[in-house]
Every structure is written in structure tokens, then in C-alpha cells.
Amino acid sequence: MTIEAIMRTSPVIPVLVIDDVATARPLAEALVAGGLRVLEVTLRTPAALDAIAAMKQVPGAIVGAGTVVSHDQFDQAMAAGAEFIVSPGLTEALAEPIIASDVPFLPGVATAGDLMRGYALGLRHFKFFPAEASGGVKALKALAAPFHEARFCPTGGITAETAPDYLALPAVLCVGGSWVDKGDLASVERQARAAAALPRD
């Protein structure tokens, strides 16, 4: 799949911090059952790589690695079976080998300079991060105007209440959210179902 196809799969990509690998597969099953097939597992915990491998066993799940900041993490994520890569920022040193590998890649940007660097690398799909701290909807709308080819997945501080404001922007294909995996598995499935039903422009 291309990164655009992944971003268009559902309006919300859960951003998951997994502390216990035993919870990974049941969590993925609940999210997929609720309609959220694209799952981003952040490489912030020792369990993350094993969690990616476990979630990959869930039919319909599209599992990627987030918070990738080094070549070593990229290699480890690929070995675990990650289907796409998300980074919190954008540097040529990190981006070039990922682009060369042809793995779907969503680098983080927050400024016009970040976007120009991405454009120079041939990229047009970005994570706007940290979205709320970087000025929210107003800032993203301003950035999207001169970079009219760019498409975004805003992530960082977004809630079920604010997600629709981002999804109303034509340049936004989806949002990243950490609110959908709270509570028991029944609650997760309900929250995923509500997130999957959010309208996009």
C-alpha cells in the first residue's frame, strides 16, 4: 500500500503505547472490529516491537511503527513486520534510506522549512506534529495553503472533540489519536466505531 492509501483507510489512526505485549493482540482485535484497521505502535516501550509482531496476526490490521528516530529503529521495526513508518520529525539522514526502501513513510513536520525539506526529498504526505502545540487547525490551514500538494495526518493533543475540526480541512486525510484505546476492550471497540464514523472533507 502507498502511504496515501494507508491514510485514507480510516479517519483516525490510533497512536498506541504498548507496555505489555500480552495486551497487544486483543487491543488490535478491538480496534479493527470497531473499524480502525491502521494501527501505529510507538517505539517508546520495550514491548513495542513484539507488539507490532503480535498485532500483525490480526486479520485486517495494517500495523506500523511510530516514533522512529534512528536507522536502528527502522531496521528493528521492519524486522518486526511494520508495514509503514512514522517519525516525529524529518531529517535527510533518516528519510533517505526509508524512502529508498519503498516502505510507506509519514515523517513529522511542524514548519514551512520542514515541508520544504520534505518536498526536496519528493515527499508529499506528512504528520503534522505536535498538532495542538504547533498552533492547531489555524496553523495547519496556513501551512497547507502554499504547500497545496501536501496531505496531512495531524497528531498530538487531538481529542474526539477536536478531531472533526482537523478532518474538515481538505488537506487532512486522517488524524492520529491516543484517545481510542482507553478503558476495557468493549469501550475501545465503541470508541473505535465512533472514530471510524467521523466525516472527512
CA–CA separation, 115 and 45 (whole Å): 29
Please tell me which residue in 40, 56, 83, 189 is annotated as part of the active site: 40
Determine if the peptide bond prior to 154 is cis (ω within 30°). Answer: no
CA–CA separation, 152 and 7 (whole Å): 9
Find out whether 25 and 58 touch, Cβ atoms under 8 Å: yes
Tell me, yes or no, if 132 is annotated catalytic.
no
Distance of CA 85 to the CA centre of its chain: 8
Q: How many CB atoms lie within 10 A of CB 130?
A: 17
Please tell me which residue in 29, 56, 127, 189 is annotated as part of the active site: 127
Tell me, yes or no, if 40 is annotated catalytic.
yes
CA–CA separation, 201 and 173 (whole Å): 8
Closest alpha carbon to 201 in 173, 163, 159 = 173
The angle that helices 185-196 and 24-33 make with each other, rounded to 10 degrees, is 40
Mind telling me the catalytic residues?
40, 127
